[in-house]
Chain A
């Protein structure tokens, strides 16, 4: 066991309070490892800012929020620190009904999330969601560290006389006499916390547990009648279970989390973990599957079978819909979380302008000219492999050209599945040009059809009525995708990359099969070394290009300006902005229907 990995300065804990720091370090450090974190089912954490440790966190597979908060620290034969555990169910999950009526009412109130985030300030509220106790214990003589929980199999409250309420002048039962008002599966929930913390510990200290000890005693249920509360014997067999996991050799460990009276124990079991054998009934604990990782190098991860293929997102959208802006935001959002990504682009046109627009925070690889979907097996694969070797990114974004058909890409994505984990298709829809692009171009419709997430961009430019119409049209093409809206490509990335929402939505992709390879006759033309020009003249010329021109972009030198300006044109709307880099060659890329290109060039150069 390498305890120095979870404790600073490489010394062993010297007081009970040090164990509090260990818990914080386990949770923090494991969350710096994007792949491992996901592997171990961490799905988000939030540390409550206060002196004693308190966290809220999500575990994959549970809709609600778990919470842990420091209760007390003691020094006996060993150092012990005790934490309280809570589970705040999501209002619509089944388990919510197992909590008390009052708790469930809280779960349905609008300030529920706010209360959870500050649960330590609301003790009465939090106690409704209490599920058990977690203890960390360190024996300074043997250097063994144990993590344990103490929880009941079912935390039952019975309404002896029932609960009546008045409705429309009539007394009605909400609960019949003798019905359970609460039946929280406390042990089940607490063990999920034990599991994730012990698994993380396994990974961080590079050790498997030495032993597991479990003790059961009988427990009571709570009975309420006429405002009186009684503990009564249960008709069912309910238990209080103490489960301790020991790291480091320690045969004589006396667990703090144990029944006070030995005589009460009705069952006790100890498993010594000598090999890979998983004790019966404990197979759901993932830490047995956590390989001891000597050195967290990616190569070892592959050998050990940890899936470290980076997820790949395909971002698609018709020309000028706002793909680049969206991607920039994703990159920044991810970077704040220490997730590093690469973007693969293939824009039509010889000059990879977008490569210069996205700043150096990420690696952008421009693929050869042409449509990604035509060259997937060859170029793209080669490109991705090169990036993976060079940068070991946490994720890959494939930005398709504005005229690529994602259905074609999906058809061939299998060819990449050994190097990246395909995640989802995100389609950016331009609210301003929706009508035109979807009626005139099959590809625009296919982009919508292929999407897991559709973002309607530029809604600031349209009326609410129009937005409703667009949404309805989208749903006709694709009724399974999540639809979000955005202005200037600004979306809340948390919605896509944190929430389970996306993951629940993915299954349908598998059933999608590509249609025949469709190409519209869209082509591009690049004019290099554009002569400098008066701004007003140029705007006039822009307004006169044929309607088949979908997009133009480039760097142009205007008379009276020191440096070239960035010009972007999308279906009748143009934007001219300052351009602060060393890239100073002027050029213009024109994209549109093949037959209109030369006419556009003629007008622009006239």
Chain B
């Protein structure tokens, strides 16, 4: 009887090329599939319209979050790893003098609270005594200028860095201090609660204590207290997961993901530039480029249905790693067809260099103000979209 049978393995190998083809369809193999319950409905693209703007310009105030990665990682590792609460490291400004991994928000803020936000130099002297690796602290902050269709310009500050000392220097270098003081900057957007983006908050408040602040949902109690304790007197708006429409063509998207050092939630900026397409501006982009682009594709409506530009930390997140093919950022990024790419140092120097080698439209920097390489946009560098 065996000669009237085809071995399953042989059949599969032989038929593999023609799935859905006539041979198989004729076998009636599909017949039992309909009885299987459908586990989910195929999702369709449901696009949210958040308007359109003419152009944007991003000035990198500081993207040197810290100066030496080995020192930072050594601190994190010795304090207990990537899940340890960031307020416990004893990093500036929340030092209690007890050493690495033994800090606390309440003990740290107690020592400097009375000096915030105006007497930052004095505060920094106290911080020096109580914190570890003070000179490694830098910070991330960027100025985003949006030009609306009628030519009206609006300014937003994205993040406020980390070290009071370094950030104040950077703010002065780029004239942010004056823009804040004379009310040119509409609001401060904090991308996430991380030390290098958020702990320099008093530097912004020193010049504009009543500025409106947007944070993503998920801040811990320490972070919420810090906003008050820093002397904030303006509006605080907490953005829920998903899209928050800001101004025409400008939206914030909160990816409600847990991040290292016990932080929850990161919001990124999306812009719809007239006749060009979508532009995104991120700090670290912890959620990773794949999540980021796919979310935009699935949820946002933008001109030309085209991902036009991106600026920020471009990398594959640690949660995108079972398929080596997609783990290669250089290849993945190529698939999205961006017309203008600006990397910050989070992207990785070699990666940025590979983008350039491959002929991707990368805007290069000037390597000034302690930025190490021209392959990425560093401190004081500018990138524009739609102009």
Chain B 290-318 against A: per-residue CB contact (8 Å), 1 yes, 0 no?
A: 11001100100000000000000001101
A41 within 8 A of B: no
B83–A32 touching, CB < 8 Å: yes
Interface membership of B42, Cβ < 8 A? yes
Enumerate chain A residues within 8 angstroms of B32, measured Cβ to Cβ: 157, 222, 224, 229
Convert A97-111 into 0s and 1s, putting 1 for each residue whose CB lies closer than 8 angstroms to a CB of B: 100111011101100
As a 0/1 sequence over residues 213 to 228 of chain B, the CB contacts with chain A under 8 angstroms (1 = contact) are 0000011110000000
In the complex, the answer to whether B41 meets A392 with C-beta atoms within 8 Å is no
Residue contact A123 to B40, C-beta cutoff 8 Å = yes
Closest chain A residue, CB of each to CB of B348: A332
Give the CA-CA distance A140 to B119 in the complex, in Å: 47
If the complex has contacts A8-B218, A105-B15, A363-B70, are A31 and B322 also in contact, measured as CB distance less than 8 A? Answer: no
Answer whether A97 and B73 are a contact pair too, CB < 8 Å, given A46-B322, A296-B81: no
Task: Mark contacts of B27-45 with chain A using CB atoms, 8 A cut-off: 1 yes-contact digit, 0 otherwise.
Answer: 1111111011111111100
- B27 and A105 within 8 A (CB): no
Among B2-10, B140-148, B182-190, the one that faces the other chain is B2-10
A272 within 8 Å of B by Cβ?
no
Looking at the complex, which one of A102, A117, A127 makes contact with B38 (CB distance below 8 Å)? A127
Q: A102-B30, A298-B77 are in contact. Are A56 and B322 (CB under 8 A)?
A: yes
**A46 in contact with B24 (CB, 8 Å):** no
> Which of B41, B327, B349 lies at the interface centre, i.e. has the most chain A CB atoms within 10 A of its CB?
B327
Tell whether B324 is near chain A: CB-to-CB under 8 Å.
yes
A329 contacts the other chain (CB 8 A)? yes
Q: Are A46 and B321 in touch, CB under 8 angstroms?
A: yes
Shortest Cβ distance from residue A230 to the other chain B in the assembled complex, whole angstroms: 10
- Which of A367-375, A429-437, A492-500, A595-603 lies at the binding interface? A492-500
Render A50-69 as a binary contact track against B, CB cut-off 8 A, 1 for contact: 11000011100000010001
Which among A47, A124, A336 is the interface contact of B291 at CB below 8 angstroms? Answer: A47
What is the count of residue pairs linking A and B with beta-carbon distances less than 8 angstroms? Answer: 243
Residues 6-20 of chain B, each 1 if its beta carbon lies under 8 Å from chain A, else 0: 101101110111010
Closest chain B residue to A337, Cβ basis: B318
**Which B residues are in CB contact (< 8 Å) with A71?**
39-40
Known: A174-B5, A360-B69, A580-B373. A105 touches B12 (CB 8 A): yes
A226 to B29: give the CA distance in the assembly, Å. 10
Measured between beta carbons, the chain A residues less than 8 angstroms from B326 are: 46, 117
Q: Which B residues are CB-close (under 8 A) to A113?
A: 323, 325
A172 to B27, CA, bound (A): 11
A8-B220, A229-B35, A392-B74 as given contacts; A122 in contact with B42, CB under 8 Å: yes
Verify if B92 is at the interface (C-beta below 8 Å from A): no
**Provided the pairs A69-B40, A84-B40 are in contact, do residues A165 and B324 lie with their beta carbons within 8 angstroms?**
no
Q: Which of A65, A70, A335 meets B322, CB within 8 Å? A: A65
Residue from B79, B323, B367 within 8 A of A117 (CB atoms): B323
Known: A227-B31, A229-B31. Is A109-B16 also a contact (CB below 8 A)? yes
Chain A residues in 8 Å Cβ range of B324: 492, 494-495, 498-499
Instruction: Indicate if the CB atoms of B8 and A174 lie closer than 8 Å.
Output: yes
Q: A72 CB to closest chain B CB, in angstroms?
A: 10
The answer to whether B256 has its CB under 8 Å from any CB of chain A is yes
Compute how far the CA of A271 lies from the CA of B321 in the bound complex, rounded to whole angstroms. Answer: 36
A593 at the interface (CB under 8 A from B): no
The answer to whether A123 and B42 have CB atoms under 8 Å apart is yes
Q: Is the CB of B319 within 8 A of A392?
A: no
Query: In the complex, A391 Cα to B372 Cα: how many Å?
Result: 23
A-B contact pairs, 18 of them (CB 8 A): A32-B82, A47-B320, A49-B291, A84-B40, A101-B8, A104-B8, A108-B19, A123-B38, A126-B39, A127-B36, A163-B27, A166-B26, A174-B6, A224-B31, A296-B83, A329-B350, A340-B70, A340-B77
Binding site for A on B (CB under 8 A): 4-6, 8-9, 11-13, 15-17, 19, 23-24, 26-33, 35-43, 68-70, 73-74, 77-84, 101, 218-221, 242, 256-258, 260, 264-265, 290-291, 294-295, 298, 315-316, 318-329, 348-351, 354, 357, 367, 372-373
Task: Give the interface of A toward B (CB within 8 A).
Answer: 5, 8-10, 21, 24-25, 27-29, 31-33, 43-47, 49-51, 56-58, 65, 69-71, 84, 97, 100-102, 104-106, 108-109, 113, 117, 120-124, 126-128, 130, 157, 163-167, 170-176, 222, 224, 226-229, 295-298, 328-329, 332, 335-338, 340, 359-363, 390-393, 488, 490, 492-495, 498-499, 580
